[in-house]
Structure 1
């Protein structure tokens, strides 16, 4: 097994979620063109925010592959939000949108676990986090 396989899985989940948001933005654009929005300005703002979210997820995916801690931490936050959104949909929408709940909840859970495993593995290799035997807290290379 490759040393950072969880990072690849986490990046794939983040990239797929970003791609899903791009698809949603395109669908929103078509709905706006058909006149399904009550306000054109609000519809455009929603599309722009959806694309910003997609760009963020894709940036987190690329950053995770490049072993950037900012990307992993941002990805973890978004996976927790995805799980929370799935649980909120489960408890507050009738009838329950089971497909949405399952896809978003499972993707969020898989992404969260993969990101946490990635953080643990990459943190174990960081010499700044290893303590010297004399207890000073400095790395052995310092």
Structure 2
């Protein structure tokens, strides 16, 4: 079965977030090479963690296109964290609206799309229709 529109849009948002984190890791690597970090070990750990998150978002994007529930649930976790990070940035002075909107906005859009994709995929899944209990099949 072909993925629905919200599923495709959610996968695109997840992929773009993964690409953005990949770019952030390159920037972190350049800062590490240029001596812009206070701790080399801490800088390397941050780069590795950022790359792990980027790869995870790519996997969630791919899995979302394949209608895998593990991918949608993992994507929802990342989106909730993004919304929380965007909201938390509002407590800092001075407020950096570009960061707040750049992190929280796509996360909120991704969250809405993932929930919509989950609802649509659940409605089209024959295993989840009422009256189709495993013991009732002939």
TM-score range, shorter chain: over 0.9
Quote the Cα distance in structure 2 between the aligned partners of 1:141 and 1:106: 45
* Conserved 8 A contact 1:123-1:129: yes
Structure 2 regions of 5+ residues with no counterpart?
none
Quote the Cα distance in structure 2 between the aligned partners of 1:4 and 1:17: 20
Quote the Cα distance in structure 1 between the aligned partners of 2:19 and 2:136: 42
Task: Spell out the pairing of 1:105-124 with structure 2 (5 A cutoff).
Answer: 105-124=104-123
Note the aligned Cα RMSD (angstroms). Answer: 1.7
Quote the Cα distance in structure 1 between the aligned partners of 2:3 and 2:58: 22
Report what 2:23 is aligned to: 23
Quote the Cα distance in structure 1 between the aligned partners of 2:134 and 2:118: 19
Structure 1 regions of 5+ residues with no counterpart?
none
Q: Which structure would you say has the larger RCO, counting Cα contacts within 8 Å and 6 or more residues apart?
A: 2
Give aligned pairs, total.
136
Task: Spell out the pairing of 1:45-84 with structure 2 (5 A cutoff).
Answer: 45-84=45-84
Report what 1:104 is aligned to: 103
Residue 28 (structure 1) shift: 0.4
User: 1:21-45: CA deviations, max 9, x gaps?
Assistant: 0111000000001111111111001
* Conserved 8 A contact 1:63-1:72: yes
Instruction: Flag the 1:40–1:109 CA change in 2: closer, same or farther, 3 A.
Output: same
Report what 1:13 is aligned to: 13
Quote the Cα distance in structure 2 between the aligned partners of 1:3 and 1:64: 9
Report what 2:128 is aligned to: 129
**With structure 1 as the length reference, what TM-score do the two structures score?**
0.90
**With structure 2 as the length reference, what TM-score do the two structures score?**
0.93
